[in-house]
A and B are shown apart, each in its own frame.
Chain A
Amino acid sequence: MKKRVLAVLAATMMAGAILVGCGNSSSSSKGTKHSAALVTDGGGIDDKSFNQSAWEGLESWGKSHNLQKGINGYNYAQSTDDSDFLPNINKLVKAKYATIFGIGYKLDNAITKASKANPDVNFAIIDSVVSNRKNVASVTFKTEQSSFLAGVAAAKTTKTNKVGFIGGIQSDVITTFQKGFEQGVKAVNPNIKVDVKYAGSFTKADVGQSLATAMYNNNEDVVYQAAGGTGAGVFTAAKNVAKNGKKVWVIGVDQDQKADGKYKGGNVTLASAIKKVGTAVKDLSNDAMKNKFPGGKTVTYDLKSNGVGLVNDNMSASAWKAVQSYQEKIENGTIEVSAK
């Protein structure tokens, strides 16, 4: 038995060596300044939210410069577990991508480590600040501003004076959504109750669905979700309730989520608080191409720079008008939205 195991092992190794030999000769390509790739934070590039919007940004950057998906072009590496972060980043480094994005604050540890080991590669981290690393650009979004507008939209739409907020995992980043939303609601009507719940996960649609169902049953007729993949369940819950004839709404996040709210007989997406991760990815890739990568700096996107905003999906004209007037006030500094 032992001999057999050894023989099999030896055979595998030999086959391996032969194939490895071939592999090296065929993939001896060198990287160019015009290549960029991203690593997802747990969801796929089809999560209809955060990762997807980053990927679409990278894709559109690649296409606008006539690049191919793959080596010397643009690409992604998908993480299914936190232990995939560093291997994924290193894979992309080995494949000579010039700029590598960590999508989401969960990757900040891995990006810090990789940036130390590879000082010649450009790294960017979204939603987190990695300081003191000359080759790391940090990108943050003033999502409290877009969430404030979401709060205004919710307050102008609710009939029951009760609205809900569902977050993914409680952390600095998601707290900005919650705080902005609460301030927006209170600015319109201080008597409206905001029910805040956290799902404890960005990937559990079932938890999102049960939290949202409970909220709708409690007569909270507008729910704002900032929960990534968990948010898909909020839409499912809203559509189920809406099919039974109750008028309820979801405010989407990160991307325009109008399509997710569609059901036979209507649409439950009131508005979407978009966060243009894709624009950030695109901008930084362009900067890197022009040798102007903002390494060591923090780039902030806000309402004024059109990095965050609220998209009108199914709002009433008066609600949309209110949103626009508040947007003006935030942009010219009359209203200061606190992130905490």
Chain B
Amino acid sequence: MHTKSLKGLTIPLVSVLAGFIVGAILMLIFGYDPLQNYQNLLVGSFGGVYSIGETLRNMISLILTALGFAVASKAGFFNIGGPGQYLIGWFGAIVFTLKFSYLPAIILIIGALLCGALAGGLWSMVAGILRAYFGTSEVITTIMLNYIVLYIVNFAVKSWLAGKGSDSSPNIAAKANLNTPFLQRITDNSTFNWGFFIALAVVGLVWFYFNKTKSGFEIQAVGLNESASQYAGVNVKKTIITAMLISGLLAGLGGAIDGLGNFQNISVSNNLPNVGYNGMAVALLAAENPIGIVFAALLFSALQIGGLSISVYSNTPSEIVDIVIASIIFFVGIKYAFELIAKKGWFKRKNREEKGGAEK
């Protein structure tokens, strides 16, 4: 067990290191100073309360979309619907806050977050139901549902929420803003908001759900072997739908928190929100471990927020950070490939030995 957990940490750490090295080599090739840039990146993400606040805020939606991806993944599904579920969650929360703005602050906020989460959950459940009853590949359906939600939300914002000639909704009431004046004051006007603590609490809940509840265990069982779980008396269809529902709830909550805490409105989007995809990368780096997701999200968030500083403080294009991030993912992926090759090779050798033994 001890060696196994050590190995579990080695892969992400080596990948991260390798990612940074690739970034450094590229910068050297193109004549930029890697040390200076990494230092700017660090200062940009952790230098001072403002930067820390911004980095922690950026973690919120990364954590939640990553948890969402992880839950589905534990059940054996590749839920690519994170961006769409995040977007509909954002939309749901803003709609609730705008339409019920007369409610007292606390009820308004809780209602908006629930509404956003539920919107994400129900949207994702569509893919779950299709998978459970018709065996439709969730990869295809979630990708397609992403685009459907993008255009539905754009249409709804444009024709329903936005004023004439505008392409964004009005701002929500100040009382529903999760980025309260107190937090603004202590973090030097950053967008850090109470959602961060909600996200951490949800990490705890998800950990508890997987390790201590029957339903969480069933999800993992179905992920390991669907037929065996069915044989063991697990209601596989229900479990699939539950897993997708929870997955969507989490991503939707991420969108809702960002809506109330960061944007305070919703506008017509050019593209699906990137955070949905980045959440998948965070979950992969953390090997879908809820606690690991917190640290992976911290790393990604620091890279993204610090990355904005790179082009401000030097001539290096900020895209270099995207290369570092992509390299990290690449190395995580290639590590799996190495493991697979190692395993296969080992099996072959063993088979040969056994064969040899039999011939003698």
A71→B313 contact, CB < 8 A:
yes
Return the CB mask of B314-357 against A: 1 if under 8 Å, else 0.
11001000000000000000000000000000000000000000
User: Any chain B CB within 8 A of the CB of A292?
Assistant: no
Per the bound structure, the CA–CA distance linking A138 and B145 in Å amounts to 39
A23 with B308: CB separation less than 8 A: no
List of B residues within 8 angstroms of A16 by Cβ: 42, 46
The answer to whether the Cβ of A92 comes within 8 Å of any Cβ in the partner chain is yes
Q: A1-B5, A77-B308, A82-B267 are in contact. Are A170 and B43 (CB under 8 A)?
A: no
Contacting residues, chain A, for B171 (C-beta < 8 A): 109
- Residue numbers in B under 8 Å from A170 (CB-CB): 158, 167
A37 touches B262 (CB 8 A): no
Minimum CB distance partner of B264 in chain A: A109
Closest to A75 in B: B312
Report the bound CA distance from A16 to B165 in whole Å: 47
Answer whether residue A86 sits at the interface, using C-beta atoms and an 8 A cutoff.
yes
Name A69-128 residues within 8 Å CB distance of B: 69-71, 75-78, 80-84, 86-88, 90-92, 94-95, 106, 109, 117
Per-residue B-contact encoding for A1-38, CB less than 8 Å = 1, 0 else: 10011001100000010011011100100000000010
Contact (Cβ within 8 A) A83 B258: yes
B50 and A23 within 8 A (CB): no
Chain-B contact segment, one of A198-206, A232-240, A273-281, A282-290: A198-206
Interface size on B, residues (CB 8 A): 52
Q: From A81, which residue of chain B is reached at the shortest CB distance? A: B274
Contact A171-B167, Cβ < 8 Å, known A27-B43, A83-B263: yes
Minimum C-beta distance from B194 to chain A (A): 17
Interchain CB contact (< 8 A) of B311 among A8, A77, A82: A77
B265 touches A23 (CB 8 A): no
Instruction: Let me know if A175 is at the binding interface, CB within 8 A.
Output: yes
Min CB distance, A12 to chain B, in Å? 9
How many interface residues does A have (CB within 8 Å)? 47
- In this assembly, does B44 line the interface, its C-beta being within 8 Å of a C-beta of chain A? yes
Distance of A19 Cα from B43 Cα, bound (Å): 8
Closest to B46 in A: A16
A169 interface residue per 8 A CB criterion: yes
Asked if A169 contacts B270 (CB within 8 A), the reply is yes
A195 is an interface residue with CB less than 8 A from chain B: no
Which B residues are CB-close (under 8 A) to A328? none
Contact residues in B for A1 (Cβ distance below 8 Å): 5, 8-9
Q: Which of B154, B189, B267 contacts A90 (CB 8 A)?
A: B189
Q: Does B79 contact A (CB under 8 A)?
A: no
Instruction: Note all chain B residues with C-beta closer than 8 A to A231.
Output: none
- Asked if B39 is at the interface of the complex by the 8 Å CB criterion, the answer is yes
Q: A69-B315, A109-B168 are in contact. Are A91 and B154 (CB under 8 A)?
A: no
Contacting residues, chain A, for B270 (C-beta < 8 A): 42, 169, 201-204
A19's partner among B6, B42, B50, B189 (CB-CB below 8 A) is B42
Beyond the given pairs A91-B44, A171-B165, 6 more chain A to chain B contacts, judged by CB atoms under 8 angstroms and listed by A's residue number, are: A71-B312, A82-B267, A82-B269, A83-B58, A86-B262, A109-B265
Can you list 14 contacts pairing A with B, beta carbon distance less than 8 Å?
A1-B5, A8-B13, A23-B42, A27-B313, A71-B312, A81-B275, A83-B58, A83-B263, A87-B308, A88-B308, A90-B189, A91-B312, A92-B312, A109-B168
Binding site for A on B (CB under 8 A): 5-6, 8-9, 13, 38-40, 42-44, 46-47, 50, 54, 58, 151, 154, 158, 165-168, 171, 184, 189-191, 258, 262-265, 267-271, 273-275, 291, 295, 305, 308-309, 311-315, 318
